[in-house]
Amino acid sequence: MKITWLGHSAFRIDFSGAVLMIDPFLSGSPTFNGDVGEVSRGCTHIALTHGHDDHIGDTVEIAKANGATLIACFEICNHLAARGVEKYEPGNTGGTIDLGAFTVTFVQALHSSASLADGPITYLGNPLGLVIKADGHTIYDMADTDIFSDMALIDEIHQPDIGFVPIGDRFTMGGDVAALACKKYFEFRTVVPIHYGTFPIIDQTADKFVAAMKPAKVTVPEIGVGFEV
């Protein structure tokens, strides 16, 4: 499995038999300087955690260019189907979707979910975390969230070995609380901080999180540079 962080909360994950993109906020991102078409080439699926514009990002364009299947809550699937996404797999909290090469289970996240792209606020269902199982690994993308005690149940049920953890503060957990969530509830082998450095009002580096996680090691990838797990 190859994981490529694309800044903010965006990822490309290459599995055996599928290419998944998560929250592909690229062309509008202050930290992504690559080519959207290049990094999304071969994308077979797109998973969205919630409906904020810095997470939906380039979903419609990527889906159209690659014929990719959208995986998201029911409201987001319908919202983006009206904008040209042809293939989609809706779900909601607790549900699991089998995509063949991998599965996605939706779990709760403490946040909000709406779009401002069309002017008036459009309600887009509940925010969701994602548990992704493929190639012998289980990824828990916490999405935008605060710590919550039912993270213990997520670990008990799914036992994720890879965590994508929001650390930027203000709109999600900050570094200290994110580290507490990891240490208290999980035994991740690989931890990747997300949702930082993009906008001036959130933390600009992963330093607080890395320090609070010691002695555990944190993987802080360079944007656009993949790593194998």
Within a domain: 174: no
Respond yes or no on whether the N-terminal peptide bond of residue 215 is cis (omega within 30° of 0). yes
- What's the pLDDT score for residue 149? 98
Coil/strand/helix, residue 210? helix
- What's the pLDDT score for residue 135? 98
Four-CA torsion 206, 210, 211, 214, nearest 10 degrees: 180
- Max alpha carbon distance in the chain (Å)? 48
Run means of pLDDT, 10 residues per run, the chain, 229 residues:
98 98 97 97 98 98 98 98 97 98 98 87 96 98 98 98 98 98 98 98 98 97 98
Which CATH number goes with the domain that contains 90?
A: 3.60.15.10
- What's the pLDDT score for residue 118? 72
Within a domain: 186: no
Number of domains in the chain: 1
- What's the pLDDT score for residue 119? 76
> Residue 40 belongs to what domain range?
2-165
Within a domain: 152: yes
Within a domain: 143: yes
Within a domain: 27: yes
